[in-house]
Amino acid sequence: MAGGSESRRSMASASVAAHRAEANVADARLARYNDRIGRVRKERAVWPGAAFIVEALLLLVFLTGSLAVLMNLNAEADRIGRESADLMDGLVLASNVAEEFAADPIAFKEAYEADPMADRWLSQPAHEVENGSDLLSAECTFRTEDTEAGTMHYLTLEVWKVRVLNDSAKAAEEGIGFAPGGLCFEKWEESPVYALETSRYVPADGARTARSATGAADDATRSVVLDDPAAPPVVGATGGPAADGADAAPTEGEVSHG
């Protein structure tokens, strides 16, 4: 009897141990399942927020790139506009200077060499602009070529964009010194805004094209109303051929320009 009881107790203990082992395995499986389900739920809960952040970052990058492109285009358009305005102003200044040279190259050279910083060589008076502002300045280079009949005068004209310093106190702060009331020009660009070459021929006699006082008087006398009987006699009037071809002295109120 005692042996049978021991056998039954052993079998019961083994059964309990087996059941406990199975329960532990089931609990472990359930724990792993719950852990996996929890991770999946957490990932699913976090992913919509992460997607929004990623989309916001991509949108921010796109907007930043678009803004940079627009700013570059705006700066390029502004630069082209300023260059066009400078080119137009340089063309006007060069044309005016070239016309003065063509009128009298000798007097032009003397005036330029006497004061190459005069307002007539600038796009606007230097003392009227703000210190540190930009304007256009014409630089002239002269060359002559003698011939048997006269002299050919050549002019190389370059229009530069310069920075004007007309305040000696402010210029001294930048380490630039010049006399009070003077001017200082600083070149900004590496090449001129506009350049041209022109020439003017002057005969060997050196006569400059200027109307004399006698010529002005002649013009004044010729402006008299010829049909006015009370008009004063014309000085220097000479005889000329009559309308019928015969030589005759001018009658009253008539002037001959023969």
Tens of pLDDT, residues 169-205: 666 666 676 656 566 777 777 889 999 999 999 998 7
165 inside domain: yes
CA distance 173 to 4: 118
Structural domain count, the chain:
1
Whole-number CA gyration radius for the chain: 50
For 110-152, how does the pLDDT look when each residue is reduced to its tens digit (9 = 90+)?
A: 999 999 888 889 988 877 878 778 889 999 999 999 988 899 9
Please give the Cα distance from 89 to 122 (Å, whole number): 10
Any idea what the Cα angle at residue 226 is, between residues 225 and 232, rounded to 5°? 80
Nearest of 41, 101, 240 to residue 249 by alpha carbon: 240
> How much of the chain, in percent, has pLDDT values that exceed 70?
65
Q: What is the CB-side half-sphere exposure of residue 201 using CA atoms within 13 A? A: 6
In a domain, 105, yes or no: yes
- Has residue 232 been placed in a domain? no
Q: Is residue 239 part of a domain?
A: no
Residue 188 CA to residue 163 CA, distance in Å, equals: 7
Whether 158 is covered by a domain: the verdict is: yes
The pLDDT-based confidence of 219 (bands split at 50, 70, 90) is very low
Strand-pair category, 194-203 with 150-165: antiparallel
From 166, 170, 144, 168, select the one nearest 155 (Cα to Cα). 144
* Overall pTM > 0.75: no
DSSP code, position 130 = P
Q: Which two tokens stand for residue 115?
A: 């004061």
* E-assigned strand segments in 19-101: none
Q: Residue 157 in contact with residue 140, Cβ under 8 Å?
A: yes
Q: 154 lies in which domain range?
A: 36-212
Residue 219 lies in a domain: no
Report yes or no on 8 lying in a domain: no
Q: Which residues contact 155 (CB under 8 A, 6 or more apart)?
A: 98, 101, 105, 108, 140, 141, 142, 143, 197, 198, 199, 200
**Would residue 40 count as lying in a domain?**
yes
